[in-house]
Amino acid sequence: MNIPGFPDAQAAARRIARWTHRTPVLTSSTLDRLTGARLLFKCENLQKAGAFKARGATNAVFTLDDAQAAHGVVTHSSGNHALALARAAHCRGIPCTVVMPENANAAKRQGVARYGGQVISCAPTLRAREQTLQALVARTGGHFVHPYDDSRVIAGQATCALELHEQAGPLDTVIAPVSGGGLISGTALALGELAPATRIYGAEPANADDAHRSLHAGHIIPGDAPETIADGLRASLSPLTWHFVSRQVADVLLVTEAEIITAMRRIWEIMKLVVEPSSAVALAAVLKAPERFHGQRVGLILTGGNVDLDALPWRMTL
Protein backbone atom coordinates (compact mmCIF):
# COMPACT_ATOMS: atom_id res chain seq x y z
CA MET A 1 0.00 0.00 0.00
CA ASN A 2 1.54 3.30 -1.14
CA ILE A 3 0.63 5.85 1.53
CA PRO A 4 1.11 9.45 0.37
CA GLY A 5 2.84 11.97 2.58
CA PHE A 6 2.85 15.74 2.93
CA PRO A 7 5.56 16.24 0.28
CA ASP A 8 3.24 14.46 -2.17
CA ALA A 9 0.51 16.99 -1.37
CA GLN A 10 2.92 19.87 -1.90
CA ALA A 11 4.03 18.41 -5.23
CA ALA A 12 0.39 17.93 -6.24
CA ALA A 13 -0.37 21.58 -5.46
CA ARG A 14 2.38 22.68 -7.84
CA ARG A 15 1.37 20.14 -10.50
CA ILE A 16 -2.33 21.03 -10.65
CA ALA A 17 -2.08 24.80 -10.17
CA ARG A 18 -2.35 25.49 -13.91
CA TRP A 19 -5.40 23.28 -14.32
CA THR A 20 -7.54 23.94 -11.24
CA HIS A 21 -9.06 26.84 -9.31
CA ARG A 22 -7.92 28.07 -5.93
CA THR A 23 -11.50 28.11 -4.67
CA PRO A 24 -12.74 30.80 -2.28
CA VAL A 25 -13.58 30.45 1.40
CA LEU A 26 -16.90 32.16 2.12
CA THR A 27 -18.78 32.94 5.32
CA SER A 28 -22.38 33.61 6.33
CA SER A 29 -23.32 35.66 9.38
CA THR A 30 -26.83 34.20 9.18
CA LEU A 31 -25.58 30.61 9.39
CA ASP A 32 -23.15 31.64 12.13
CA ARG A 33 -26.10 32.91 14.18
CA LEU A 34 -28.08 29.74 13.53
CA THR A 35 -25.27 27.49 14.70
CA GLY A 36 -23.36 29.54 17.25
CA ALA A 37 -20.12 28.80 15.41
CA ARG A 38 -17.91 30.68 12.97
CA LEU A 39 -18.39 28.69 9.75
CA LEU A 40 -15.88 28.91 6.90
CA PHE A 41 -17.05 27.26 3.68
CA LYS A 42 -14.39 25.98 1.24
CA CYS A 43 -16.32 26.29 -2.02
CA GLU A 44 -15.28 23.33 -4.14
CA ASN A 45 -18.64 23.63 -5.90
CA LEU A 46 -16.84 26.41 -7.81
CA GLN A 47 -13.96 24.10 -8.77
CA LYS A 48 -13.21 23.01 -12.34
CA ALA A 49 -15.64 20.26 -13.39
CA GLY A 50 -17.81 21.40 -10.48
CA ALA A 51 -16.22 19.45 -7.63
CA PHE A 52 -13.09 18.85 -5.54
CA LYS A 53 -12.52 15.67 -7.55
CA ALA A 54 -10.76 17.79 -10.18
CA ARG A 55 -7.79 18.00 -7.83
CA GLY A 56 -7.10 14.29 -7.43
CA ALA A 57 -7.97 13.35 -11.00
CA THR A 58 -5.75 16.07 -12.45
CA ASN A 59 -2.85 15.11 -10.23
CA ALA A 60 -3.18 11.46 -11.23
CA VAL A 61 -3.42 12.16 -14.97
CA PHE A 62 -0.46 14.52 -15.02
CA THR A 63 1.78 12.13 -13.08
CA LEU A 64 1.42 9.49 -15.82
CA ASP A 65 4.37 9.07 -18.14
CA ASP A 66 3.72 8.95 -21.87
CA ALA A 67 3.70 5.15 -22.00
CA GLN A 68 1.12 4.93 -19.21
CA ALA A 69 -1.05 7.57 -20.84
CA ALA A 70 -0.86 6.11 -24.36
CA HIS A 71 -4.09 4.09 -24.06
CA GLY A 72 -5.96 6.72 -22.09
CA VAL A 73 -7.50 6.47 -18.64
CA VAL A 74 -10.49 4.56 -17.29
CA THR A 75 -12.41 4.50 -14.04
CA HIS A 76 -15.72 3.71 -12.36
CA SER A 77 -17.63 6.53 -10.70
CA SER A 78 -21.12 7.65 -9.75
CA GLY A 79 -20.39 11.08 -11.14
CA ASN A 80 -17.93 13.70 -9.94
CA HIS A 81 -14.77 11.63 -10.35
CA ALA A 82 -16.02 10.67 -13.80
CA LEU A 83 -16.41 14.34 -14.69
CA ALA A 84 -13.04 15.25 -13.19
CA LEU A 85 -11.15 12.45 -14.94
CA ALA A 86 -12.79 13.21 -18.28
CA ARG A 87 -11.75 16.85 -17.94
CA ALA A 88 -8.20 16.01 -16.85
CA ALA A 89 -7.83 13.61 -19.78
CA HIS A 90 -9.15 16.30 -22.12
CA CYS A 91 -6.55 18.73 -20.76
CA ARG A 92 -3.79 16.22 -21.42
CA GLY A 93 -5.21 15.18 -24.78
CA ILE A 94 -5.84 11.50 -24.02
CA PRO A 95 -9.05 9.43 -24.12
CA CYS A 96 -11.18 8.65 -21.07
CA THR A 97 -13.81 5.95 -20.55
CA VAL A 98 -15.96 5.79 -17.42
CA VAL A 99 -18.12 3.02 -15.98
CA MET A 100 -21.14 4.66 -14.35
CA PRO A 101 -24.08 3.02 -12.53
CA GLU A 102 -27.32 3.20 -14.45
CA ASN A 103 -28.89 5.36 -11.72
CA ALA A 104 -26.12 7.99 -11.89
CA ASN A 105 -27.04 11.66 -11.86
CA ALA A 106 -28.06 12.71 -15.38
CA ALA A 107 -26.23 16.04 -15.17
CA LYS A 108 -22.99 14.26 -14.33
CA ARG A 109 -23.38 11.83 -17.24
CA GLN A 110 -23.90 14.75 -19.58
CA GLY A 111 -20.86 16.51 -18.14
CA VAL A 112 -18.62 13.53 -18.91
CA ALA A 113 -19.78 13.63 -22.52
CA ARG A 114 -19.11 17.38 -22.75
CA TYR A 115 -15.48 16.73 -21.85
CA GLY A 116 -15.25 14.06 -24.54
CA GLY A 117 -15.45 11.08 -22.18
CA GLN A 118 -17.23 7.86 -23.07
CA VAL A 119 -19.74 6.40 -20.58
CA ILE A 120 -20.46 2.69 -20.10
CA SER A 121 -23.47 1.89 -17.90
CA CYS A 122 -23.65 -0.90 -15.33
CA ALA A 123 -25.88 -2.08 -12.49
CA PRO A 124 -25.73 0.15 -9.37
CA THR A 125 -23.51 -2.11 -7.26
CA LEU A 126 -19.79 -2.02 -6.51
CA ARG A 127 -19.41 -5.56 -7.84
CA ALA A 128 -20.98 -4.59 -11.17
CA ARG A 129 -18.75 -1.53 -11.42
CA GLU A 130 -15.60 -3.53 -10.81
CA GLN A 131 -16.50 -6.35 -13.19
CA THR A 132 -17.39 -3.93 -15.99
CA LEU A 133 -14.17 -2.02 -15.38
CA GLN A 134 -12.06 -5.19 -15.52
CA ALA A 135 -13.49 -6.02 -18.92
CA LEU A 136 -12.87 -2.45 -20.07
CA VAL A 137 -9.21 -2.49 -19.01
CA ALA A 138 -8.69 -5.84 -20.71
CA ARG A 139 -10.23 -4.50 -23.92
CA THR A 140 -8.60 -1.06 -24.09
CA GLY A 141 -5.44 -1.23 -21.98
CA GLY A 142 -6.51 2.03 -20.35
CA HIS A 143 -4.80 3.15 -17.15
CA PHE A 144 -7.16 2.80 -14.18
CA VAL A 145 -7.44 5.85 -11.94
CA HIS A 146 -9.42 4.79 -8.87
CA PRO A 147 -11.81 7.41 -7.47
CA TYR A 148 -10.14 7.33 -4.04
CA ASP A 149 -7.99 4.22 -3.45
CA ASP A 150 -5.00 5.85 -5.14
CA SER A 151 -2.15 7.73 -3.48
CA ARG A 152 -1.98 10.23 -6.37
CA VAL A 153 -5.69 11.02 -5.99
CA ILE A 154 -5.44 11.44 -2.21
CA ALA A 155 -2.42 13.73 -2.60
CA GLY A 156 -4.43 15.82 -5.02
CA GLN A 157 -7.42 16.00 -2.69
CA ALA A 158 -5.08 17.12 0.11
CA THR A 159 -4.55 20.39 -1.74
CA CYS A 160 -8.08 21.43 -0.76
CA ALA A 161 -7.29 21.41 2.97
CA LEU A 162 -3.85 22.87 2.26
CA GLU A 163 -5.55 25.88 0.64
CA LEU A 164 -8.19 26.08 3.36
CA HIS A 165 -5.48 26.33 6.01
CA GLU A 166 -3.66 29.03 4.05
CA GLN A 167 -6.87 31.01 3.52
CA ALA A 168 -8.56 30.63 6.91
CA GLY A 169 -5.71 29.95 9.31
CA PRO A 170 -5.86 27.30 12.06
CA LEU A 171 -9.37 25.95 12.64
CA ASP A 172 -10.82 24.18 15.64
CA THR A 173 -12.66 21.69 13.44
CA VAL A 174 -12.90 20.69 9.79
CA ILE A 175 -15.86 18.65 8.50
CA ALA A 176 -15.78 16.84 5.17
CA PRO A 177 -18.32 14.51 3.57
CA VAL A 178 -17.26 10.85 3.48
CA SER A 179 -17.85 8.35 0.70
CA GLY A 180 -14.82 6.31 -0.34
CA GLY A 181 -12.71 8.56 1.87
CA GLY A 182 -10.38 10.24 -0.61
CA LEU A 183 -11.21 13.79 0.45
CA ILE A 184 -11.14 13.19 4.18
CA SER A 185 -7.89 11.22 3.77
CA GLY A 186 -6.37 14.16 1.93
CA THR A 187 -7.71 16.48 4.62
CA ALA A 188 -6.06 14.34 7.30
CA LEU A 189 -2.82 14.22 5.33
CA ALA A 190 -2.62 18.01 5.01
CA LEU A 191 -3.86 19.03 8.45
CA GLY A 192 -1.85 16.35 10.21
CA GLU A 193 1.20 18.33 9.10
CA LEU A 194 -0.13 21.90 9.11
CA ALA A 195 -2.60 21.92 12.03
CA PRO A 196 -2.42 18.71 14.06
CA ALA A 197 -4.64 20.17 16.80
CA THR A 198 -7.56 20.61 14.39
CA ARG A 199 -10.27 18.00 14.90
CA ILE A 200 -11.38 16.28 11.71
CA TYR A 201 -14.92 14.97 11.40
CA GLY A 202 -16.55 13.12 8.56
CA ALA A 203 -20.22 13.49 7.72
CA GLU A 204 -22.35 10.99 5.83
CA PRO A 205 -25.99 10.06 5.27
CA ALA A 206 -27.55 7.74 7.82
CA ASN A 207 -28.76 5.76 4.79
CA ALA A 208 -25.12 5.20 3.73
CA ASP A 209 -23.42 4.91 7.12
CA ASP A 210 -20.65 2.41 6.37
CA ALA A 211 -17.84 4.82 7.34
CA HIS A 212 -19.54 5.58 10.67
CA ARG A 213 -20.03 1.87 11.38
CA SER A 214 -16.48 1.09 10.28
CA LEU A 215 -14.91 3.70 12.54
CA HIS A 216 -16.89 2.50 15.56
CA ALA A 217 -16.22 -1.19 14.82
CA GLY A 218 -12.50 -0.66 14.24
CA HIS A 219 -12.47 -2.27 10.78
CA ILE A 220 -13.93 -1.63 7.35
CA ILE A 221 -17.59 -2.55 7.02
CA PRO A 222 -18.46 -2.24 3.33
CA GLY A 223 -21.78 -0.95 2.12
CA ASP A 224 -23.30 -1.83 -1.23
CA ALA A 225 -25.84 0.17 -3.26
CA PRO A 226 -27.15 2.39 -0.43
CA GLU A 227 -30.16 4.55 -1.23
CA THR A 228 -29.55 8.24 -0.49
CA ILE A 229 -30.24 11.60 -2.10
CA ALA A 230 -26.50 12.25 -1.71
CA ASP A 231 -25.54 10.32 -4.83
CA GLY A 232 -21.84 11.13 -4.43
CA LEU A 233 -21.64 9.37 -1.04
CA ARG A 234 -22.50 5.80 -1.95
CA ALA A 235 -18.99 4.31 -2.06
CA SER A 236 -17.19 2.42 0.72
CA LEU A 237 -13.83 2.98 2.37
CA SER A 238 -10.75 1.26 0.98
CA PRO A 239 -7.67 -0.01 2.85
CA LEU A 240 -5.76 3.12 1.82
CA THR A 241 -8.41 5.59 2.96
CA TRP A 242 -9.06 3.51 6.10
CA HIS A 243 -5.41 4.16 7.02
CA PHE A 244 -6.22 7.87 7.42
CA VAL A 245 -9.79 7.59 8.69
CA SER A 246 -8.95 5.11 11.45
CA ARG A 247 -6.00 7.20 12.71
CA GLN A 248 -7.06 10.82 12.35
CA VAL A 249 -10.84 11.17 12.08
CA ALA A 250 -12.50 11.98 15.41
CA ASP A 251 -15.92 10.69 14.34
CA VAL A 252 -18.23 10.32 11.37
CA LEU A 253 -21.47 12.22 11.98
CA LEU A 254 -24.75 10.95 10.54
CA VAL A 255 -27.57 12.99 9.04
CA THR A 256 -30.96 12.03 7.66
CA GLU A 257 -32.20 12.58 4.14
CA ALA A 258 -34.49 15.37 5.34
CA GLU A 259 -31.59 17.06 7.17
CA ILE A 260 -29.44 16.90 4.03
CA ILE A 261 -32.15 18.51 1.92
CA THR A 262 -32.78 21.23 4.52
CA ALA A 263 -29.07 22.08 4.70
CA MET A 264 -28.78 22.11 0.91
CA ARG A 265 -31.71 24.49 0.65
CA ARG A 266 -30.25 26.80 3.31
CA ILE A 267 -26.99 27.05 1.35
CA TRP A 268 -28.89 27.86 -1.84
CA GLU A 269 -31.18 30.40 -0.18
CA ILE A 270 -28.79 32.07 2.25
CA MET A 271 -25.39 31.84 0.54
CA LYS A 272 -26.69 31.86 -3.05
CA LEU A 273 -24.46 28.90 -3.86
CA VAL A 274 -25.47 25.97 -6.04
CA VAL A 275 -24.40 22.83 -4.19
CA GLU A 276 -25.41 19.21 -4.61
CA PRO A 277 -26.85 17.10 -1.78
CA SER A 278 -23.51 15.43 -1.03
CA SER A 279 -22.02 18.87 -0.29
CA ALA A 280 -24.71 19.68 2.23
CA VAL A 281 -24.00 16.87 4.70
CA ALA A 282 -21.26 18.85 6.46
CA LEU A 283 -23.58 21.76 7.24
CA ALA A 284 -26.37 19.33 8.05
CA ALA A 285 -24.15 17.79 10.75
CA VAL A 286 -23.57 21.21 12.35
CA LEU A 287 -27.24 22.17 12.16
CA LYS A 288 -28.18 18.85 13.75
CA ALA A 289 -25.88 19.24 16.77
CA PRO A 290 -24.83 22.91 17.04
CA GLU A 291 -23.86 22.51 20.69
CA ARG A 292 -20.94 20.31 19.61
CA PHE A 293 -19.43 23.20 17.63
CA HIS A 294 -20.59 26.22 19.61
CA GLY A 295 -17.96 28.99 19.69
CA GLN A 296 -15.61 27.16 17.34
CA ARG A 297 -14.08 28.13 14.00
CA VAL A 298 -15.32 25.34 11.75
CA GLY A 299 -14.19 24.66 8.20
CA LEU A 300 -16.84 23.01 6.01
CA ILE A 301 -15.92 21.60 2.61
CA LEU A 302 -18.66 22.14 0.02
CA THR A 303 -17.60 19.30 -2.22
CA GLY A 304 -19.48 19.95 -5.45
CA GLY A 305 -22.24 21.68 -7.35
CA ASN A 306 -23.22 19.26 -10.09
CA VAL A 307 -26.98 19.26 -9.66
CA ASP A 308 -29.67 17.81 -11.88
CA LEU A 309 -31.84 20.93 -12.09
CA ASP A 310 -34.79 18.84 -13.28
CA ALA A 311 -34.74 16.79 -10.07
CA LEU A 312 -34.19 19.21 -7.19
CA PRO A 313 -34.66 17.29 -3.94
CA TRP A 314 -37.03 19.73 -2.22
CA ARG A 315 -39.55 18.93 -4.91
CA MET A 316 -39.66 15.42 -3.53
CA THR A 317 -41.80 14.19 -0.62
CA LEU A 318 -39.63 13.91 2.47
Give the pTM: 0.95
**What is the predicted pLDDT for the residue at 316?**
62
Sheet order of strands, 199-205 included? 25-26, 38-43, 297-302, 173-177, 199-205, 249-255
Cα–Cα nearest to 3, from 140, 179, 153: 153
For residues 203 and 175, is the Cβ–Cβ distance under 8 A? yes
Q: What are the pLDDT digits (tens) for 261-283?
A: 999 999 999 999 999 999 999 99
* Rounded (to 5) percent helix, strand, coil in the chain: 50, 15, 30
Q: In sequence order, what are the beta bridge partners of 297?
A: 38
Domains identified in the chain and CATH numbers: 6-51+150-315 (3.40.50.1100), 54-144 (3.40.50.1100)
Q: What are the pLDDT digits (tens) for 198-225?
A: 999 999 999 999 999 999 999 999 987 6
